[in-house]
């Protein structure tokens, strides 16, 4: 009898433990954190319901991608796991990328020991119910750190992807050093750099920080952004020295993207839509896939104006007077590299496009007509103080460039940026 009681007590304890585990799993991410399916050693093109890669490997048979399996050899760092970053991480995870890197608080640093890891996520925000108008996070995750909740969900979706998460603000001095270190050493093989850094942040300071790091490291990265009125966005590929960096021509990239926290304090918030953010994440990851797997045309800049369904493309040359000394250094190195190439005519052709009176060297390469540009201007919304729209295209292009670059410049880029930050 005593034995039976003991056994029952053990069973109760066991069940209570299991129940607690089960509840915390559900609270975290939905699935069971890697138990959703077993890990797969080698991607197979076999057409069976149980193969999560059959539809991706079919890209080879369709003649789109030569070597899809190569996706597993890449490591991507994502900074910001909000409306765009979370969906970006999910798409890359479902595509079977090698590693995803995002960034955790010191107390959660132990998650780094979860195993080997290859998608890097950086964010220091918590999931809130106010985020539920965008894809990815669910109400039962409210209060959890975004990178932690994201990592748990993503690991469940695809246990073949390696994750590294950092829950901190990259703009502080100490964190910046750690961030630089993880970019240059956190590749698929420890000690090698990541293949791409993706900026999915919502404020000017974080963008400038990523820009500074990538210019110093010569790290290729992609920028993304959504306007405060939720109806436009863009993505941009930045190859240090080759294309304009974020400091070369900031106003074209982002006008006054103020940190959401500042706005919240004043009882005002930016608008956002799952549609616009989903489209921006989609074109961002599509550009990543084209860049890494070498198919189609990689866009240097692709905009999305949802009001008119207008998608401008262009490419921007770096500014020789860029304020960032590492950008100027990378430009010199790129020039030397190009000069050493056997075919100089490629460079000539590119240079012909530049307008002579264009001190910024900004060139519009797309076939966008005046009328299209005009049609694409959405209505100018009645904005609360401190917010301006980043992506509504001005009626006259020349005027806007003049306004933005301060033609006969007595002001430095630093002054301009300081102004923008205070707008």
Q: 57 to 96, contacts with a copy of itself by CB under 8 A?
A: 58-59, 61-64, 87, 90-91, 94-96
Tokens matching residue 388: 């301006």
The least CB distance from residue 124 to a copy of itself, in Å, is: 15
Chain centre distance of CA 26: 27
Q: Which of residues 171-210 bind a copy of itself (CB under 8 A)?
A: none
Q: Which of residues 100-129 bind a copy of itself (CB under 8 A)?
A: 128-129
Q: Does 299 bind a copy of itself (CB under 8 A)?
A: yes
> CA 1, CA 411: separation in Å to the nearest integer?
89
Pick from 84, 188, 249, 306 the residue near a copy of itself by CB under 8 A.
306
Chain centre distance of CA 247: 18
Count of residues binding a copy of itself (CB under 8 A)?
A: 108
Q: Does 281 bind a copy of itself (CB under 8 A)?
A: yes
Q: Which of residues 137-166 bind a copy of itself (CB under 8 A)?
A: 138-140, 142, 153, 156-158
Q: Quick check: is 214 catalytic?
A: no
> CA 341, CA 320: separation in Å to the nearest integer?
21
Q: How far is CA 319 from CA 67, 233, 379, in A?
A: 36, 23, 31
Q: Does 35 bind a copy of itself (CB under 8 A)?
A: yes
Q: Does 385 bind a copy of itself (CB under 8 A)?
A: no
Which is catalytic among the residues 95, 245, 269, 322?
Answer: 269
Pick from 119, 270, 316, 393 the residue near a copy of itself by CB under 8 A.
270
Q: What residues have CB less than 8 Å from 393, skipping those under 6 apart?
A: 305, 312, 373, 374, 376, 377, 400
Torsions phi, psi for 94 (to 5 deg):
-70, -30
The least CB distance from residue 419 to a copy of itself, in Å, is: 23
Q: What residues have CB less than 8 Å from 394, skipping those under 6 apart?
A: 377, 400, 403
DSSP letter, residue 243: S
Q: Does 382 bind a copy of itself (CB under 8 A)?
A: yes
Pick from 256, 289, 316, 362 the residue near a copy of itself by CB under 8 A.
289
Nearer to a copy of itself, 37 or 329 (CB): 37
The least CB distance from residue 14 to a copy of itself, in Å, is: 9
b/e 314-331 (16+ beta carbons within 10 angstroms → b): bbbbbbeebbbebbbebb
Q: Does 380 bind a copy of itself (CB under 8 A)?
A: yes
> CA 301, CA 366: separation in Å to the nearest integer?
10
Q: Following DSSP, what letter does each residue of 264-288 receive, concatenated?
A: HHTT------HHHHHHHHHHHHHHH
In 227-358, the DSSP E strands lie at: 232-238, 301-305, 313-316
Nearer to a copy of itself, 383 or 402 (CB): 383
Q: Which of residues 350-369 bind a copy of itself (CB under 8 A)?
A: 367, 369
The least CB distance from residue 261 to a copy of itself, in Å, is: 11
Residues classed as catalytic: 269
């Amino acid at each position: 009898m005593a034995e039976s009681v003991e056994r029952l007590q053990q069973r109760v304890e066991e069940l209570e433990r299991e129940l607690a585990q089960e509840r915390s799993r559900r609270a975290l991410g939905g699935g069971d954190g890697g138990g959703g399916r077993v890990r797969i050693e080698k991607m197979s093109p076999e057409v069976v319901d149980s193969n999560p890669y059959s539809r991706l490997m079919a890209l080879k048979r369709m003649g789109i991608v030569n070597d899809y399996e190569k996706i597993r050899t890449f490591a991507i760092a994502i900074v910001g796991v909000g409306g765009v970053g979370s969906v970006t991480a999910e798409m890359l995870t479902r595509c079977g990328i090698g590693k995803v890197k995002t960034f955790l608080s010191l107390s959660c640093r132990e998650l780094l020991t979860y195993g080997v890891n290859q998608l890097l996520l950086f964010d220091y925000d918590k999931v809130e119910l106010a985020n539920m108008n965008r894809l990815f996070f669910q109400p039962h995750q409210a209060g959890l750190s975004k990178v932690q909740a994201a990592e748990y969900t993503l690991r469940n979706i695809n246990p073949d992807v390696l994750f590294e998460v950092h829950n901190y603000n990259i703009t502080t001095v100490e964190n910046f050093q750690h961030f630089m270190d993880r970019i240059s050493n956190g590749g698929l093989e420890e000690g090698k750099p990541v293949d791409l850094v993706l900026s999915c942040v919502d404020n000017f300071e974080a963008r400038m920080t990523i820009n500074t790091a990538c210019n110093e490291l010569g790290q290729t990265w992609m920028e993304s952004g959504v306007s405060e009125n939720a109806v436009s966005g863009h993505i941009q590929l930045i190859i240090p020295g080759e294309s304009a960096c974020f400091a070369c021509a900031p106003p074209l990239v982002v006008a006054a993207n103020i940190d959401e926290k500042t706005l919240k304090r004043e009882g005002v918030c930016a608008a956002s839509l799952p549609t616009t953010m989903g489209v921006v994440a989609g074109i961002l990851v599509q550009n990543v896939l084209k860049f890494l797997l070498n198919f189609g045309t990689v866009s240097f800049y692709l905009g999305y104006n949802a009001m008119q369904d207008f998608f401008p493309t262009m490419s921007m040359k770096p500014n020789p007077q860029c304020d960032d000394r590492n950008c100027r250094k990378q430009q010199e190195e790129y020039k030397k590299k190009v000069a050493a190439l056997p075919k100089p005519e490629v460079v000539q052709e590119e240079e012909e496009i530049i307008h002579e009176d264009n001190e910024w060297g900004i060139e519009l390469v797309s076939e966008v007509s005046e009328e299209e540009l005009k049609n694409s201007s959405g209505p100018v919304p009645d904005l609360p103080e401190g917010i301006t729209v980043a992506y509504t295209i001005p009626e006259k292009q020349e005027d806007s460039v003049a306004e933005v670059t301060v033609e006969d410049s007595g002001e430095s880029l630093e002054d301009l940026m300081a102004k923008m930050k205070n707008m």
